[in-house]
Structure 1
Amino acid sequence: MFQFHVAPSGDDSWPGSLERPFATLERARSAARSGDAVVRLRGGTHVLTQPFELTGEDSGTVYEAFEGEQAVVSGGRRITGWRERDGVWAAEVGDLETRQLYVDGRRAARAAIPGLPGEASATPTGYVTDSAEPRGWRDVEFVHRGVYPWTEARLGMAGVAADGDMTVITMAQPGFGRAVELYNSTWEGNTSQGPGLPTSIENDPSFLREPGTFVLDRSRPGEHVLLYLPLPGEDPGRTVVVAPVLETLLRVSGARDVSFRGLEFADAGWLRPSRPEGFPHYHGSGYYEGGGVETAYIGEGGSVTYPTASVTIPASVRFEDTVGVRIEGCRFTRLGASGLSISGGEGFSVRGCDFDTLSAGGIVVSDSRGTTIERNRVRQVGLEYSGSPGIAVSGTRDCVVANNEITQVPHCGIVAGPGEGTRILRNLTVDTMQVLADGGGVYLSGVQGDSASNGAVVRGNVIKDTRTPYNFGLYTDYGASWVIVEENVVMRADNTAVLHVGPPLENVVYRGNFWDADPLGHDDPPSGVTYEGNVTIKDEHQLNAATAGIQSRAGLSS
């Protein structure tokens, strides 16, 4: 097997040896195509100027960090040339577009205020308020948290004008129009239409009130200015500030038996929500791009509209139609979308990786066969798109999600949509559902097979601290069928589980689970649910003692 080396201090005219490494991954890729090869990345930051792409020509290649060294594959740009005025740092950044900023490795939040000032109301094209404050806004984004309990939209402002004593805000199209089309509900006699008033507003210089926040001022096209209000002790001459430039770091399509080991993927963005289309979010990692809506009826007289089709937030590292790919011991961090996506193909494995500080979800798998997601740590994800789950699989066959640890996520920990043969085994979720509602630590919906032999199994998971006041720790929902739910432990949730949902559950077995509170409907299970041998222990110490074996095998601890 051939061996090649890449180092930030290398030279592409060198032979790629340990002593004389290449400078770029592209040069190493060309050399590795001569046969089965290992490409070792030396420590430091490998800055990409374009997405790194692998195809079938690159089958059999291993990309790994040099032993004992931290190799970072980055799509970012260091910001320099700061000027300081009135305590705010300013840097001219040309046509740079970014929604994220990282300061000495820490994610800086965009400066924001909590909602529209004054007495405000919605109009067909935006909003009106009796406050004059918005008249000075330049390039802001409205955040609508909880339009539905599981939804958070982001919509841009197109313009603002005075109308006598009132201020008229016009929202960007087509995003606002799509939001008005999408969000329509009736509940307990109350009807709502559109996204409603914003819960917060981001990205105006006047919002720079909290140290550690930033704004990108795009009021002069091509002459953008980045503004940052520093934390105490930060110095423009020493502090390392990085803005993501690329949206995709790595794209692999059609390759076989490619491996990645010990690498860190960092500093990528996603600019789609900053366009006039905005981000009309619906559920999970899905958002609406038009095409029409349908109505779901809930209970007595309740209804919500939902999209006939939705688009999934992309990932910064993408694999399409690959076979036998392995990702081991890698880190995905400081990314403005999801971390890793796998679509199509078969025999993919993700083991021992860390996913943290992500704007969207950790791992998204769709339409693949034989994917294994095992012993990964997912935490602090969904920082910008709050519906994003830690791990999501849909349309898969024989997918295994086992012994992962998911903590500090804004909505569901693990989501499994329709599929066949899904196994969700011995995972640990803690502090899920921190922001949005109506989900769980483990959430499963739709048809999971056509018999007990190829249905889904949810076994041995430990689900703790499901936070919002409207959740179901372990949640089989929306017509789930052919599912076995057994030997799980659920504690400190608003509701441990629910058996009556719409469409109803079919061929679902709840067996041998442990709860600290009875699931909703346990005393009158629907005809499609078998509920047997489950144990409710309200005392936490007794519950921990009774389930010590299950808990010791869940997550990364076993």
Structure 2
Amino acid sequence: MQPRCIRGTCRSIPQPLVRMSSVGIRARFDLSGRIDYNGHSVTCQLGTFVGGYRRMCRTRSMLAATWMAMGVLSLIPLCSAETLYVTSGGNDAWSGSLRSPNVDGTDGPLASVATAVAAARRLDESVQRRIVLLEGEYFLDAAIVLDHRDNGLTIAAASKGRATLYGGRVVDGWRREGPLWVAPVPDVESGRWDFRALVVNGRLADRARFPETGTLQHESRFDVPWMSTTGGGWKRKPTEEELTTLKFRSEDLPAEIEAANAEITVYHMWDESLVGVASMDRQKGLIRFSNPSGHPPGAFGVHKYVVWNTRCGLTREGQWYLDRAAGRIVYRPRSDERIETIRVIAPTMESIVRIEDAEDITLEGLRLSVTNTPLRAGGFGAGAFDGAVHVRKSRRVRLENLEVFNVAGQGIATDGSAVTIHGCHVHDTGACGIKAPSGHIENNRVHHVGRIYPSAIAIWGGGRGAVIAHNDVHDTPYTAINCGGRDHRIEHNRIWRAMLELHDGGAIYVFAGENTVLRGNMAFDIPDTGGYGSSAYYLDERSTGCLVEGNLSYGVARPSHNHMAHGNTIRNNVFIYDGDMRLTFARCSDYTFEDNVLQASGSITFSGANVLTVMRNNLLDSGVGKVVGRTVEQYAETGNTPWDLASENVVGPARIEAYRDGRVRYESGSPALERDIGRVDVHAAGVMNADRPR
């Protein structure tokens, strides 16, 4: 018999538990009020008890704390928790209170999550409610929507990673058509269904692409100056015509391209626009879009574009396109695939779980896969799309040990406060991986984001007081971690292979950040693909009072980039690059740069060195003996900065012995050891778990 609970006292806040075996009761409790009692786990939000217990623990009055805890334990017979079970082989006419069917087949687990949510809402409000999904696959007819009626609810997998929720449906009826396979989707032909993601045998399949590699060059121009984001953007607002047309060379596009199917990615500088084709006039060399682009084609001097979803782009195994006119999917199979066993899932919804105007919701151990996006430009960071898990206007939401994958939009998107995202694996997303302002984003793996919208950001924080720590982030087309707002901590993250397609971003990018700390991070192997470049640590417009300290960067040509930022400190970092290294400070002021170790096989250039108010105790090692400071006015370098580096810095060999494991070690006699600088050890950066012990 499970214990009963005082109305309104239950709330789950996992923290380390304190054992109470000494008092003869098989119980544990933590400082938030969670109690494990004789095998039952309940949680009581008893503010007076918690505060008093914490004070007693701090003053080492453990005897008094123990007696106080025993007083609370006397309340446990008043507490209760109700669990509802769901399995794909269940029955929605059953109660859901049993994990498996009873012997006479009259009761057992439910069949659908929606029915379980409805049943949980009928329980007394004083009951702590939990829905447990047993191992299996759950194809949803509609998104699971949780609101204030579900406050305090937990939805969890019985076994981590063994229950999968799908926001799509299986496509059947495949037949051969020459080297291709085709399957009917009648709702597409009628216009009731459209999608731009397809999951084939568990992978997010590539769309048909023209050209097969690289990009095409269009001839549209937009020479209006960009006045900076805080300066209002374009000096002149683009016209509708400029946002909905593209000039092309007719010889670039095959005559058989079908306008009704074609979609175009128009590349800008730090983002892109995905647009449909309304018409194509070959004589005029003009394409009209069915939806406006975010910036005019040709803006920022960028003229790249790619055409998707056409028959002529179906050139490689594993690609597909949606033939809207014929109402079918066309797929070029891989050599190891068989038409009799192929499993294809197409998305039918934009979110799988939506949490709106709710509190104290927990999702735990689930897998979520297959979502859709509408045809529109995604904007900066591809932020215009919903998440497979989407949280709005909610508080104290906890997302733990989820796997979100093979989705067209964002993996996890929240706009609430006090959201915790912990231990999640988010990968193969069309847009962002995790977007969570003012949240705690810790111990997650996020990679291969931006599969449809390359401006996607792997982890996007913001608001106030966010913590982004101990995450592994890699293989991102744009920025790995982005954060604006104030009082954030971005610490102990391991980032590699970011900025693979777009420009003007970095491993960690801070826009309008105030009092934000970047500490103990490790960024490496980030290419420079041109344009406005890529960086390891980037403080952008209106960032002030920020601290960049104790970080490691290697394989990044521009380890530190700063733009329209003021009063920031860069201290005790190690930056290593095989080639010419640049650190840039355009339109900045009042910077402190101290106790850093820089090692480059080529030259080291400080562009904007005139803004370095403090430049001391650094070790600067150029393999060609060239360390240069350049004065910058606005964006133009006007000459060398007059400075006497040797008076307060060391210019010479750093004698770094090893660093790739995150532990920077120096040879005996290194000036870094003598000056006690560059003592950077970030080997603990990234995810902490049993597979990677610390």
Distance 1:174 1:322 in 2: 32
Alpha-carbon shift at residue 270 of structure 1 (Å) = 0.6
Match of 1:50 in 2: 142
Structure 2 unaligned spans of 5+: 1-80, 101-107, 188-192, 222-240, 601-654, 666-678, 689-693
Tell me which of 650, 661, 664 is aligned to 1:546. Answer: 664
Match of 1:5 in 2: 85
Tell me which of 490, 511, 517 is aligned to 1:445. Answer: 511
- Contact 1:114/1:199 (<8 A) preserved: no
Give a deviation string over 1:93-147, Cα, whole Å, max 9, x none: 01231101111101111111129999974496443544383355242012223x3
Partner SS state of residue 194, structure 2 = coil
Tell me which of 375, 378, 403 is aligned to 2:470. Answer: 403
Distance 2:594 2:329 in 1: 59
- Contact 2:352/2:371 (<8 A) preserved: yes
Match of 2:405 in 1: 333
- Contact 1:537/1:543 (<8 A) preserved: no
Kindly indicate which of the two structures has a greater share of residues assigned to strand: 1
Residue 492, structure 1, aligned to residue 555, structure 2? yes
Match of 2:10 in 1: none
Tell me which of 78, 90, 102 is aligned to 2:199. Answer: 102
Match of 1:297 in 2: none
Q: Which amino acid aligns with 2:471?
A: N
Change (3 A) 1:512 1:119: closer
Change (3 A) 1:183 1:364: farther
Residue 382, structure 1, aligned to residue 462, structure 2? no
Q: Which moved more, 1:66-75 or 1:123-132?
A: 123-132
Match of 1:301 in 2: none
- Contact 2:316/2:332 (<8 A) preserved: yes
Match of 1:555 in 2: 686
Match of 1:414 in 2: 481
Partner SS state of residue 515, structure 1 = strand
Match of 2:415 in 1: 343
Residue 364, structure 1, aligned to residue 435, structure 2? yes
Q: How many residues align?
A: 493
Q: Which amino acid aligns with 2:522?
A: V
Change (3 A) 1:483 1:49: same
- Contact 1:118/1:129 (<8 A) preserved: no
Alpha-carbon shift at residue 175 of structure 1 (Å) = 1.3
Match of 1:300 in 2: none
Q: Which amino acid aligns with 2:264?
A: F
Match of 1:296 in 2: none
Residue 456, structure 1, aligned to residue 516, structure 2? yes
Give a deviation string over 1:274-300, Cα, whole Å, max 9, x none: xxxxx2x553234xxxxxxxxxxxxxx
Distance 1:90 1:76 in 2: 18
Distance 2:291 2:363 in 1: 40
Give a deviation string over 1:69-96, Cα, whole Å, max 9, x none: 6100111111110111111111110123
Alpha-carbon shift at residue 524 of structure 1 (Å) = 11
Partner SS state of residue 39, structure 1 = strand
Distance 1:524 1:241 in 2: 50
If you compute each CA radius of gyration, which structure gives the higher value, 1 or 2?
Answer: 2
Alpha-carbon shift at residue 326 of structure 1 (Å) = 1.1
Q: How does 1:35-184 map to 2 (within 5 A)?
A: 35-67=127-159, 70-95=162-187, 96-114=193-211, 121-122=219-220, 125-131=245-251, 133-134=254-255, 136-138=257-259, 139-145=261-267, 147-148=268-269, 150-161=270-281, 166=283, 168-175=285-292, 179-180=295-296, 184=299
Alpha-carbon shift at residue 153 of structure 1 (Å) = 2.1
- Contact 2:130/2:155 (<8 A) preserved: yes
Change (3 A) 1:158 1:512: same
Q: Which amino acid aligns with 1:532?
A: E
Distance 1:169 1:523 in 2: 41
Distance 1:31 1:524 in 2: 59
- Contact 1:44/1:70 (<8 A) preserved: yes
Alpha-carbon shift at residue 468 of structure 1 (Å) = 2.6
Q: Which amino acid aligns with 1:15?
A: S
Q: How does 1:194-213 map to 2 (within 5 A)?
A: 196=303, 198-213=304-319
After TM superposition, the score normalised by the length of structure 2 is 0.67
- Contact 1:327/1:349 (<8 A) preserved: yes
Alpha-carbon shift at residue 546 of structure 1 (Å) = 2.1
Q: Which amino acid aligns with 2:359?
A: R
Give a deviation string over 1:304-330, Cα, whole Å, max 9, x none: xxxxxxxx3321211122222211111
Give a deviation string over 1:404-458, Cα, whole Å, max 9, x none: 11011111110012x121110111101111111221111112141xxxxxx2111
Distance 1:529 1:55 in 2: 47
Change (3 A) 1:541 1:283: farther
Match of 2:596 in 1: 534
Match of 2:116 in 1: 28
Alpha-carbon shift at residue 205 of structure 1 (Å) = 1.8
Considering Cα pairs closer than 8 Å and 6+ residues apart, tell me whether 1 or 2 has the greater RCO: 1
After TM superposition, the score normalised by the length of structure 1 is 0.83
Change (3 A) 1:117 1:528: closer
Alpha-carbon shift at residue 359 of structure 1 (Å) = 0.5
Distance 2:561 2:161 in 1: 48
Partner SS state of residue 30, structure 1 = helix
Q: Which amino acid aligns with 2:546?
A: V
Distance 1:104 1:488 in 2: 40
Distance 2:458 2:250 in 1: 41
* CA-atom RMSD in angstroms: 2.6
Match of 2:640 in 1: none
Q: Which moved more, 1:548-557 or 1:128-137?
A: 128-137
Change (3 A) 1:68 1:466: closer
Change (3 A) 1:111 1:483: same
Partner SS state of residue 284, structure 1 = helix
Distance 1:246 1:228 in 2: 22
Distance 2:289 2:592 in 1: 50
- Contact 1:157/1:169 (<8 A) preserved: no
Q: How does 1:213-362 map to 2 (within 5 A)?
A: 213-220=319-326, 224-273=327-376, 279=377, 282-286=379-383, 312-344=384-416, 346-362=417-433
Distance 1:506 1:210 in 2: 49
Structure 1 unaligned spans of 5+: 186-191, 274-278, 287-311, 449-454
Change (3 A) 1:135 1:523: closer
Give a deviation string over 1:467-518, Cα, whole Å, max 9, x none: 234211111111211111110111111211124x2x2x22211111111159
- Contact 1:486/1:511 (<8 A) preserved: yes
Distance 2:574 2:360 in 1: 41
- Contact 2:160/2:401 (<8 A) preserved: no
Partner SS state of residue 524, structure 2 = strand
